[in-house]
Structure 1
Amino acid sequence: MFKIAVIGGSGLLGRALNDELARQAGWQCVATAFSRPSPQMIPLDVRDSVAVERFIDHVAPDAVVIAAAERRPDVCERDPELASALNVDAVRTIAAAANRHGAWTLLISTDYVFDGTHPPYRHDSIPAPLNAYGRSKLEGERALAETAERGCVLRLPLLYGPVISWSESAVTSLVPAIVASAAPNGQAAAMDAWAIRYPTFTPDVAFVIRQMLERHARGQTISGIVQWSGDEPMNKYEIAVCLAKALQLDAQLTPQRAATDATPRPHNCHLASSRLEAFQIGRRTPFDIAIRQVVSGQCTTSLMQGE
């Protein structure tokens, strides 16, 4: 039995990963949750080092995926101590516990470790984060490298996928404004047209992680830093146009050509995925197809009514 512990299994990526791994014969996936507890997941606050060690020792996994993080740039900017506790200290605790069982530890990181001025970025490009979120994730990468005897970092860009609330992803968080702009007497919604993002579908990322885990199970463990990204450059205005089409709404959208975020964000952090592609790892679902799947999901009606 190949055992995987997924730390942060109730989040946007964690749920997609649980679904992917549950289909693998001979694999056992044990997932944790903090803000969204469920009977299928073990409650765990990654800031509680004793609880983390107890969980890892109980599961005795062959691999650990760290998907838990504080990923909201504005929150990290306001509360850097929280960002450090979740994105750095917890990584060190989990990796140290995983070492005792010889487990491979995969840390999910971000394109925000780069400043966005010279894309595309390779896995060995020099990081230069612009904000507290990027700095905390870079420190987390270093904590993994310093602690894990068998570790790997997977950097990812803007994620979207099946949601339980529109606010879960910066992609679907645009929906309420799109809906409001399409209402009778609705006001036009201003959408950022400055930052270039590469929206990446969480089921595709889960597929990539499963392929990485398969290599580990075969004794072909990947270490160091790897990256995966969608290959369609889009700003939020273009994303919103696609969303409105998928929702079949006649939305009023206005592109904003200048950066307006209070927290500094990079212009274009396109991640090169060449290292994983060299291992013949990867899958990309076209954005227009994937976003239709997201908005036509079973939760769509309640989301439209509730937000």
Structure 2
Amino acid sequence: MFSVALLGASGLLGRAIADALADRAEWRVVRTAHRRVGDTSVQLDIRDAAAVHAFIGHTEPDAIVIAAAERRPDVCERDPALARALNVDAVRSVAAAARRRGAWVLSISTDYVFDGTHPPYHCDDPPAPLNAYGRSKLEGERALLETTELGCVLRLPLLFGPIVDWQESAVTSLVPAIAASALPDAKAAVMDAWATRYPTFTPDVAFVIRQMLEHHARGDAICGIAQWSGAEPMTKLDIASRLAEALQLDARLTPQHTPVDATPRPRDCHLDSSRLEALGIGRRTPFNEAIRQVLGAFPWRP
């Protein structure tokens, strides 16, 4: 039986991956979580190297997917030690344990390893991160690929999907401000119109990861660096406008044409997905369809 260890199964992406693998009855999927541990998951803090080695030694997975990370740029900027512990050191521990087992490891990275000045970015383009988050994820990429030859980094852009609270995604985190701006006599919500993002639906990413796992199960592991991205370029203002339309809100939105974030962010890190596309891997759900699925499954009133 093909065995998969899914680390960080309770998060935004982890839940989508778990759902995508649920119907593979011939696969054994062991899910871990740190704080939100449920009946179908095992408690594991991936920062605890001894616990990671014990877990992998006990479960003996054929493949490991690392969906746990510190992904909030502002938090990484304020606490680089936390970012390093989750995004670098934990990846190295998992990769070392996987190497002993002979397991393939997939680690999630980010478009923020690039500076956003020369898109689109291919897998072999030189990284140049602008902030602590991007630097930690780049170090995590190197930690994986230096520790095991049977590993793959999957770079992803801005993610959105089914949520447990608005703040799980930078896409849905805009909803409270959008809703507030639609109230009588409310001020307009200021939305960034400078940076271009490529919102990517977590069930689509989970489908991609399932296809990558199927390659490994057939003895054709994908190693090195791969990338996947949605294809629709949007600023936060564009995203907010589509959210308002989906929610049928007469929102008042004002564009901000210069960067104002305390943490520097790249302007356009569009990821080229051609490596996976050439293997017949991929799926993209149109944003308007995907966001309606998300909002329809979650009470939108903040």
3-state secondary structure, aligned to 1:84: helix
When structure 1 is superposed on structure 2, of 246-255 and 153-162 the one drifting more is: 246-255
Alignment deviations for residues 62-102 of structure 1 (CA, whole Å, 9 cap, x no partner): 00001110000000001111100000000010011111211
Partner of 1:183: 183
TM alignment of 1:167-246, pairs within 5 A: 167-246=167-246
Provide the rounded CA distance (Å) in 1 between the counterparts of 2:36 and 2:287: 27
The structural deviation recorded for 1:184 is 2.1
For 2:33, give the aligned amino acid.
Answer: A
Partner of 1:147: 147
Provide the rounded CA distance (Å) in 2 between the counterparts of 1:255 and 1:39: 45
When structure 1 is superposed on structure 2, of 224-233 and 181-190 the one drifting more is: 181-190
Partner of 1:276: 276
Provide the rounded CA distance (Å) in 1 between the counterparts of 2:17 and 2:186: 38
Partner of 2:250: 250
TM alignment of 1:118-129, pairs within 5 A: 118-129=118-129
Partner of 2:290: 290
Quick check: 2:69–2:86 contact (8 Å CA) kept in 1?
A: yes
TM alignment of 1:12-23, pairs within 5 A: 12-23=12-23
The structural deviation recorded for 1:35 is 2.7
For 2:292, give the aligned amino acid.
Answer: R
The structural deviation recorded for 1:121 is 0.1
Provide the rounded CA distance (Å) in 1 between the counterparts of 2:226 and 2:259: 29
For 2:291, give the aligned amino acid.
Answer: I
Q: Identity rate of aligned residues, in percent?
A: 70
Provide the rounded CA distance (Å) in 2 between the counterparts of 1:136 and 1:157: 15
Alignment deviations for residues 148-203 of structure 1 (CA, whole Å, 9 cap, x no partner): 23100000000000000000000000000011111222221000010000000000
Quick check: 2:141–2:153 contact (8 Å CA) kept in 1?
A: yes
Does residue 2 (structure 1) correspond to residue 7 (structure 2)? The answer is no
For 1:184, give the aligned amino acid.
Answer: P
**Could you tell me the TM-score, scaled by structure 1's length?**
0.97
Gaps of 5+ in 2: none
3-state secondary structure, aligned to 2:29: strand
For 1:259, give the aligned amino acid.
Answer: P
Provide the rounded CA distance (Å) in 1 between the counterparts of 2:34 and 2:177: 29
3-state secondary structure, aligned to 1:294: helix
Partner of 1:134: 134
The structural deviation recorded for 1:11 is 0.5
For 2:266, give the aligned amino acid.
Answer: P
> Where do 4+ consecutive residues of structure 1 move more than 6 Å?
none
For 2:96, give the aligned amino acid.
Answer: A
Provide the rounded CA distance (Å) in 2 between the counterparts of 1:293 and 1:225: 30
The structural deviation recorded for 1:255 is 1.0
For 1:218, give the aligned amino acid.
Answer: R
- Superposed CA RMSD: 0.8
Quick check: 2:149–2:223 contact (8 Å CA) kept in 1?
A: no
Partner of 2:114: 114
Partner of 2:156: 156
Quick check: 1:192–1:259 contact (8 Å CA) kept in 2?
A: yes
